[in-house]
Structure 1
Amino acid sequence: MTNRNKLVLILMLILGVIILAFSLRDVSFRSLATDLLTLNWRWLLVAMASMLMSYFLEAIVVKILLQRETMEFPLRSAVRIPLIEQLFNGITPFSSGGQPAQLFALIQSGVDAGRATSVLLMKFVVYQSMIVINFIIALFIGFHFVASKMHALSLFFLFGFLIHFAVIVGLLLVMYWYSFTRKLVGVFFKLLRCFSHSVRIDHWEMVLDEKINNFYQESLRLKRDSWLLLKIGLITLIQLLFYYIVPYFILLALGEKNVSLLLVTTFHILIVMVISLFPIPGGSGGAEYSFSTIFSSFITNSSKLVLAMLLWRLLTYYLGILLGMIALVVRPQKVKQ
């Protein structure tokens, strides 16, 4: 981890404390202490186990993809990959640091850079596809509720969906209309040069061409192995579901019995989509606001709502950062080829 990343991590922890203090400004300490004492720790442990299972299933996807590359990848090293991803996603804007960090971790484990890139490309395509599928279902189930109560926030949901959907459309264009996509990119950069002749534009075009070509070559292999795609797609879907149901167990831990598993899971999917739009690492500020606003429908007690938000952030954000820091210093087992 670079000094810059360490600095960002410290700043994010400080920001987390500031947000917590701001959230607690109108909450009675006695009420909060009572809620903590009456917390059902069994359900909280289930919520943590659900989050850990999500990481584990992502590690299984990595292991399966590397086995496809005729590699016997140790499970311990596979588990490091999603944890290191969580750490760098959590300290970089728009979670942009996760992919390079995973690549570094795979190379560190003895995987060839080309094969590691190939594995991460396939993993990314499947993951994005499952996110879009989940979000489309969530929109049909819960968007009308959010739109009726929070008009401004509902626009963020739609904007988030459009961004993720555009990513999938772009990937599909490369997979099935490669020559057309290359021409489209060429036209885009020609138009860009009408406004500027910067050397950076040439560099961006070269980088994008390389990425498009790499993805196209990988997509040819993807299309030949539909069974593998289906398999890792199903595992990724289950992985996401374990992540999305965490708030439901937190509500049960707080003693909220009359809550709908479907509705809570749906709202969490929508919240995650909003978080992805905030440039601040981890969506800090926006994440807490979105959770508190939406889940106030289930929890009317202000101290319980703040506690629910705190527990949710600890499990879905700070736990990943902590485990990622541990994974970063653990020596990986080398791959067997």
Structure 2
Amino acid sequence: MKKKIYKLLIVLSSAILLIVLTFFTDSFDELGHIFRNAKIYWLAAGLGCMVMYWILDAAVLHRITVTMEKGHRWKDSVRVTMIGQFFHTITPFAGGGEPIQAYVMVKDGVKPGVAASIFVVKSFIHQTIIVVYGIVAYIFYGGIFASRIPEFNYFFISGLALNTAFMVFVILLLYKGHLAKRILMFFTRLISKIKFIKNASKLERRVESEIESFRGGALIIKKDRRLLVGLTVLQALQFTFLFLITYFIHLAVESFRVSPVEVIASQSMVVLLSLIVPTPGGTGGVEGLSYMFYGMFFTKGFIIPVILIYRLLSYYPSVIVGGLFALFAPEKPLEHASGNVAGPVSEERESSRLGSGSRYRLQYVRKQRFIKVRRCQGDRT
């Protein structure tokens, strides 16, 4: 409960800070000027780009899923996608989406190993596009960004290293599976020895299980190159729509014109670097990064209002629309995320607590409870 409150406070504080900066500084006058003179159809185009981002995300998920799970429905892929969008926006490093999405798919009948493999493939392609986009942007515009943004090169190297680490691990699983496992287990035991975690053996079992899931997804990447190419194109197009939102905001509020390619390059950097910010949805970090890059494309007084507009077109629609999908989903992902889901998941938790031979021990424990209840009822009569 404390973690949920903490995440909510971060999101709310970010929104409040933006509002305060907008309404209690000179930016308030600029915001009024923007709304009086903005070309609404360009803002609508920006919102349309966000919708296309969702649709293409669902298309990538659906294409991977039907490859491994025949008969999976498009509408289920859309629902899982939007639930993921919600949890991506409220969790640190945007890392809470995939586990909840996998949970929803398992509840819908997809095998746990298959669900895990689906998101390994999707995450690998996702990270690859972010890294490639960032490298290409750096090659062509790195000098310009470095001349206008202090310490830009250090930010870029940090973001690139974090994103590349995951890709290297998946590649190791493809060709050196045992080596990848040994490396990960080494770091797991190292963390255990310096007392960062309480239950070391539980973490090691979980890591081994995750490695098997990652390996299943990695083998799919290795075998079906044609599928990989098609998914890469879709994912690249998806990010292009996301990056174009800023360009359409520029068309809506500014009288001068800038290169759409340069705007796309700058936004690819914002996404690459925002992943090093360990707050829900990159909250705070995205605003700070956007402020640095937006100075290249917007009038100085417009920057803070434009950041607010960008969040209104991208971040908050994901929270609202994705939250509605999560709220009304029959799999109850919100309850699962808070640890209150009943039924099969609770049974799994109790089995885990009982240890080895858990299924039979769980049946025995329940039988003893039943006998005890019957005895109590007999005593009362």
Fold in common (TM above 0.5): yes
- Corresponding letter in the other structure for 1:40: K
Q: Give TM-score scaled by structure 2 length.
A: 0.79
Distance 1:147 1:13, change over 3 A: same
Q: Give TM-score scaled by structure 1 length.
A: 0.89
> Which has the higher relative contact order, 1 or 2, with Cα contacts under 8 A spaced 6 or more apart?
1
CA displacement 1:263-317 (0-9 Å, x = unmatched): 1110111111221111121222221121122111221240x22221111111221
Contact 2:125 2:231 (8 Å CA) reproduced: yes
Larger Rg: 2
CA displacement 1:182-235 (0-9 Å, x = unmatched): 333344456556656976333333322222222223322332211111111111
1:227-306 aligned within 5 A: 227-302=226-301, 304-306=302-304
- Corresponding letter in the other structure for 2:297: F
Instruction: Provide the rounded CA distance (Å) in 2 between the counterparts of 1:298 and 1:233.
Output: 29
Q: How many residue pairs get matched?
A: 331
Matched, 1:328 2:335: no
Distance 1:67 1:193, change over 3 A: closer
- Aligned-residue sequence identity (percent) comes to 25
Structure 1 gap ranges (5+)? none
Contact 1:109 1:332 (8 Å CA) reproduced: no
Instruction: Find the counterpart in structure 1 of residue 94 from structure 2.
Output: 95
- Corresponding letter in the other structure for 2:309: L
Instruction: Provide the rounded CA distance (Å) in 2 between the counterparts of 1:183 and 1:284.
Output: 35
Instruction: Find the counterpart in structure 2 of residue 38 from structure 1.
Output: 37
Instruction: Provide the rounded CA distance (Å) in 2 between the counterparts of 1:230 and 1:138.
Output: 21
Contact 2:116 2:217 (8 Å CA) reproduced: no
* Runs of 4+ residues over 6 Å off in structure 1: none
Distance 1:211 1:257, change over 3 A: same
The DSSP-based 3-state class of the residue aligned with 2:119 is helix
Q: Pairwise CA RMSD of aligned residues? A: 2.5
- Corresponding letter in the other structure for 1:44: L
Contact 1:256 1:299 (8 Å CA) reproduced: no
CA displacement 1:111-141 (0-9 Å, x = unmatched): 3322222211111111111111111111112
Distance 1:197 1:281, change over 3 A: closer
Distance 1:196 1:236, change over 3 A: same
1:73-152 aligned within 5 A: 73-152=72-151
The DSSP-based 3-state class of the residue aligned with 2:93 is helix
Moved more, 65-74 or 34-43: 65-74
The DSSP-based 3-state class of the residue aligned with 2:156 is helix
Structure 2 gap ranges (5+)? 332-381
Instruction: Provide the rounded CA distance (Å) in 1 between the counterparts of 2:228 and 2:316.
Output: 31
1:157-168 aligned within 5 A: 157-168=156-167
Instruction: Provide the rounded CA distance (Å) in 2 between the counterparts of 1:196 and 1:253.
Output: 53
Instruction: Find the counterpart in structure 1 of residue 358 from structure 2.
Output: none
Instruction: Provide the rounded CA distance (Å) in 2 between the counterparts of 1:248 and 1:55.
Output: 18
